[in-house]
């Protein structure tokens, strides 16, 4: 996390809907019985409050948004720079905070915060909340929830930045569209009990790109090229699907826009459609489930199966699950990591497993990295998974050659 880079540059504007952002802030106050919650932005040598919610009015006048103060006089910067902890029982007892004007001006005692880290690695600002009484009851588990909310806000900010016009990225996209210059990698999906391969997830890589794969896809979306890029990738997937052996499936990532816009029957002929699992990502909202659900019903009728990807990574994925009733629910790494040591996490995953079973769906755990995680998942009824402890993604041809 590069604080210095962020301090020296104007960050992107937070253009998400105020209502949605304020819902997160209100939820933070209500869950932890806090008085005020806000989102701040680091702007040059200043800290600006861009959104703020008071659970109850503490002063004669409401605390206004857009308060700007010197960066080094703010709690946000003291915490982001490591001078104070993200979880504070009583600010009066913290040397870096006790002398700051805000401590007595707003009677800040208990305080909890998390940095808002953008995909670039830069810190946009902070998600903060405070109470006017000391809070010895707040703990690391509460801090983890705040960090998750900060991550949701960061994703929303990333999604609302202006178009990426980096000429090198545009050239990569042009080559991908014209000459299919991208690599297809396959990561096996296993039956955890038998250790048999039941399918593969296809992952796309851009070897000539000056940025990450995620940034290439983001640039495609920002420049209205996402559907065309998905189409090129899916044509490659169709060729691979026809070479799969046995009854294994091939999962391919698709945006909501691509599912709606593309004629998948033109890309996948009838001989391979029953092998294809369409993974709907949570990064793009479904604006109208009533119109989108029939699209998926028609695709199912043609032999395709549907998965919701990254369930647990954001607020959209759970709604996708409830509204779209997928054949597969793919658990995000955030729900899998450390599950062997976290009872509450295991309880949540177990509940999702019960929901999937009741509605004819199947759970696939993504990002399994330790044998202990795999064993705990098996204990709570998760039968399918993928991750580096099982097999890393490899070039598609070598994977199929090894499969015999």
Do residues 92 and 103 make contact, with C-beta atoms less than 8 angstroms apart?
yes
Please, how many CA atoms are within 13 Å of residue 228, restricted to the half-sphere of its CB? 15
Question: Has this prediction a pTM greater than 0.75?
Answer: no
The Cα 34–Cα 382 span in angstroms is: 37
Q: Which pLDDT tens digit goes with each residue over 138-153?
A: 998 899 899 999 988 8
Do residues 68 and 42 make contact, with C-beta atoms less than 8 angstroms apart?
no
How many residues are there in the chain? Answer: 404
Q: Hey, is 26 helix, strand or coil?
A: helix
Q: Would you state the CATH architecture of domain 3-159? A: 2-Layer Sandwich (3.30)
Phi, psi of 276 (to 5 degrees): -90, 130
Among 181, 159, 203, 193, smallest CA distance to 375 is for 193
Question: For residue 128, what are the CA distances in angstroms to 78, 108, 123, 313, 317?
Answer: 12, 12, 14, 21, 25
Count the Cβ atoms, other than its own, within 10 Å of residue 64. 8
What top-level class would CATH report for the domain 167-403? alpha beta
Q: Which pLDDT tens digit goes with each residue over 127-140?
A: 999 999 999 999 98
What is residue 72's predicted lDDT score, i.e. its pLDDT?
83
Q: Which pLDDT tens digit goes with each residue over 137-196?
A: 999 889 989 999 998 888 888 777 655 567 777 888 888 888 788 899 999 999 999 899
Q: Work out the pLDDT band at 18, boundaries 50, 70, 90.
A: low
The Cα 185–Cα 245 span in angstroms is: 17
The Cα 295–Cα 109 span in angstroms is: 52
Q: Report which secondary-structure segment, H or E, holds 374.
A: helix 371-379
The Cα 169–Cα 119 span in angstroms is: 16
Q: Give the start-to-end residue ranges of the domains of the chain.
A: 3-159, 167-403
Q: Work out the pLDDT band at 14, boundaries 50, 70, 90.
A: very low
């Amino acid at each position: 996390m590069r604080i210095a880079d962020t301090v020296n540059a104007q960050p992107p504007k937070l253009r998400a809907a105020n209502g949605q952002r304020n819902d997160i802030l209100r939820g933070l106050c209500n869950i932890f019985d806090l008085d005020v919650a806000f989102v701040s932005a680091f702007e040059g040598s200043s800290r600006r409050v861009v959104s703020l919610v008071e659970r109850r009015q503490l002063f004669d006048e409401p605390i206004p948004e857009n308060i700007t103060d010197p960066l080094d006089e703010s709690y946000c910067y003291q915490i982001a720079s490591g001078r104070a902890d993200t979880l504070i029982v009583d600010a009066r007892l913290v040397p870096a905070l006790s002398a700051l004007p805000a401590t007595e001006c707003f009677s800040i005692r208990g305080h909890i915060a998390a940095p808002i880290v953008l995909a670039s690695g830069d810190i946009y600002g902070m998600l903060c909340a405070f109470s006017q009484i000391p809070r010895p009851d707040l703990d690391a588990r509460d801090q983890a929830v705040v960090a998750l909310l900060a991550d949701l806000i960061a994703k929303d900010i990333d999604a609302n930045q202006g178009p990426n016009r980096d000429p090198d990225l545009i050239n990569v996209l042009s080559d991908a569209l014209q000459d299919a210059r991208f690599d297809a990698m396959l990561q096996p999906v296993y039956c955890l009990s038998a250790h048999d391969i039941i399918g593969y997830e296809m992952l796309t890589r851009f070897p000539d790109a000056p940025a990450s794969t995620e940034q290439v896809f983001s640039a495609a979306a920002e420049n209205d090229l996402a559907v065309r890029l998905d189409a090129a990738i899916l044509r490659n997937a169709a060729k691979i699907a026809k070479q799969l052996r046995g009854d294994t499936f091939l999962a391919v990532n698709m945006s909501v826009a691509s599912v709606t816009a593309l004629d998948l029957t033109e890309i996948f002929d009838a001989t391979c459609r029953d092998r294809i699992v369409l993974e709907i990502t949570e990064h793009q909202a479904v604006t109208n489930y009533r119109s989108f659900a029939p699209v998926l019903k028609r695709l199912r009728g043609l032999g395709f199966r549907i998965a919701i990807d990254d369930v647990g990574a954001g607020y959209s994925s759970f709604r996708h699950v409830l509204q779209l009733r997928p054949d597969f629910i793919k658990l995000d790494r955030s729900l899998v990591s450390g599950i062997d040591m976290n009872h509450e996490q295991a309880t949540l995953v177990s509940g999702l497993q019960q929901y999937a079973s009741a509605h004819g769906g199947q759970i696939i755990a993504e990002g399994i990295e330790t044998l202990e995680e795999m064993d705990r998942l098996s204990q709570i009824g998760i039968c399918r998974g993928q991750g580096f402890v099982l097999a890393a993604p490899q070039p598609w041809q070598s994977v199929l050659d090894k499969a015999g």
